[in-house]
Amino acid sequence: MKLDAHWMPFTANKAFKANPRMLASASGMYWTSGEGARILDMTAGLWCSNLGHGRESVARAMYEASVNLDYAPSFGFGHDASFTLAERLAALAPGDLNHVFFTNSGSESVDTALKMAIAYQSARGLGSKRMFISRERAYHGVNMGGTTVGGITTNTRTFGRWAPVDHLHSTLDIERNAFSKGLPDFGADRAEELEQLILLHGAENIAGVIVEPIAGAGGVIIPPKGYLKRLREICDAHDVLLILDEVVCGFGRTGSFTAGIEFDILPDLFTVAKGLTSGTVPMGAVFCRSGIHDTIMASAEGIEFFHGYTYSAHPIACAAAHACLDIYEEEGLFTRVNEGIGKYFEHVLHNLKDLPEIIDIRNYGLLGAIEFADQGSEAPVGVRVFQEAWKQGVMLRGLGNIVVMSPPLVAEESHIDEFAEKIWRSIRTVTEEQRMTA
Ligand code: PMP
């Protein structure tokens, strides 16, 4: 098979095509590779396949939707499943986050939320409030808004930024918080920096603050106790919106529907994608508080918000999301995380701490990270552990010196045990090789 024509996203194309990792099929907690190997999915794909793979009821729902109504124009036309889905989702959301705008991805959700924030400020006569404050190491997708507020330098440096933005420091503090379980004890005071940035740029210029409750692609960075609450207080004090990007954290990953609920923070807007359809078909959404929605609605006759996508609320995606919500509910998956399997994962993960080169292990719910000492080498240990783990039959995600885990919420203790054995062997192999070549 020729591999040249497909330009792969966020992939080292030349290296991949020299040594491809192909996936042929998936079922439950396992992939089957192109070579027929069974691979344990410890990442839910890209943090999305929360229900495990090959759920028949989801496939059937998508098939039936596609036979019945394969497409419905999203501008100016409706179909039942989008309204019932929005109502169901709004009922899960906290407070008055009652309005749901559908998108097709996390990136689209982020850009939609940023535009909603600007539309809201403008609708109430505060059109100068257009700037955003985000965080270093933040990942908010790759569209223009998300790239602009993003805090991972490799993703931004070629492109620059298209709107005014400033960044808070990341809260990662390995010196003080190494090997913490759940929320780290130290670092809530980092939130005070937000007040300084608001004073520096002027609240009259700032539309909102956007943060991932737990930063995913930046390396699973867990917020210190009290940090997010303090961000909320500072936003309130200065009339600045707080947007939580729940694309990774939403749909049970932290043990609640959203991390906002888990950490008792009420955002003004929040984004989801991934777990909404458990990765089966592209779909995202933005949840919006009533006051923001009503202000935008009251601001214009005719079309109130000049924004949307051809495939917003696509009938097949709505059907998939309904079927996924049924499974989340029937199998009690949100609460399962903190009541059982999340604790087991924590215990097993921290048992790896005596392996060589590890400088931190951190986790919350079914999110975990192992960070290795920086060797300054071209192939960081995290990436090599990921590569070795693939050979051993487990899918991890390597982010520089960090490997991250986000298993499907249906993982059993036996899967976590299998992961532990395979990652143990992978880390031993990589660090031994490194010792030999040093
Ligand atoms: N926000 C966050 C927090 C994410 O982790 C991601 C994707 N990993 C996105 C936005 C973008 O989502 P997508 O790739 O679906 O556009």
How many angstroms separate the Cα of 252 from the Cα of each of 247, 312, 335, 343, 363? 11, 23, 7, 14, 14
* Best CA proximity match to 317, nearest among 139, 147, 89: 89
Domain that holds residue 353: 13-55+332-437
Same domain, 319 and 351: no
Structure tokens at 119: 């539309």
Same domain, 44 and 90: no
CA torsion, ordered 25, 18, 375, 352, to nearest 10 deg: 20
Confirm whether 8 is domain-assigned.
no
The mean pLDDT value for 345-368 works out to 97
Beta strands in 34-190 (DSSP E): 38-41, 99-103, 131-135, 165-168
Question: Residue 32 half-sphere exposure, CB side, CA atoms within 13 Å?
Answer: 7
Consecutive H or E run containing 359? strand 358-364
Q: Model confidence at 1, in pLDDT bands (50, 70, 90)?
A: confident
Q: What percent of the chain has pLDDT over 70?
A: 100
For a substitution probing ligand 1, which of 248, 253, 281 has the most ligand atoms within 8 Å of its CB? Answer: 248
The answer on 341 and 298 residing in a single domain is: no
- Indicate whether 24 and 42 sit together in one domain: yes
Residues 78 and 135 in one domain: yes
Q: Looking at the structure, do residues 104 and 218 belong to the same domain, yes or no?
A: yes
Average the pLDDT over each of 133-142, 162-171, 267-276, 374-383 and give the range with the smallest value.
374-383
Q: What is the pLDDT of residues 271-329, one digit of tens each?
A: 999 999 999 999 999 999 999 999 999 999 999 999 999 999 999 999 999 999 999 99
Using the mean position of ligand 1's atoms as its centre, give its distance from the Cα of residue 232 in Å. Answer: 22
Q: Judge if the beta carbon of residue 106 lies within 6 A of ligand 1.
A: yes
Q: Are residues 272 and 194 in the same domain?
A: yes
Specify the DSSP class assigned to residue 340: I
282 Cα nearest atom in ligand 1:
15
The response to whether residue 107 sits with its C-beta less than 6 Å from ligand 1 reads yes
Look at the chain and count its residues.
438
For residue 144, how many C-alpha atoms fall within 13 Å in the half-sphere facing its CB? 4
Quote the pLDDT of residue 244: 99
Ligand 1 mean position to 81 CA, how many Å?
24
pLDDT the model gives residue 381? 93
Say if CB 352 and CB 431 are below 8 A apart: no
The three-class DSSP label of residue 372 is strand
Asked whether residue 288 falls in the same domain as residue 421, the answer is no
Q: What pLDDT is recorded for position 338? A: 85
Residues 313 and 339 in one domain: no
Are 304 and 256 a contacting pair, CB within 8 Å? no
Asked if pLDDT for residue 242 goes beyond 90, the answer is: yes
pLDDT given at position 438:
72
Asked whether residue 308 falls in the same domain as residue 349, the answer is no
Query: What tokens does 50 get?
Result: 């929360």
The pLDDT, as a whole number, for residue 339 is 81
- Written as six digits, the tokens of 91 are 């009922």
- In this predicted model, what pLDDT tens digit does every residue of 35-89 receive, in sequence order? 999 999 999 999 999 999 999 999 999 999 999 999 999 999 999 999 999 999 9
DSSP string, 206-264: EEEEEE-SSBSTTT-BPPPTTHHHHHHHHHHHTT-EEEEE-TTTTTTTTSSSSHHHHTT
**Is residue 376 over pLDDT 90?**
no
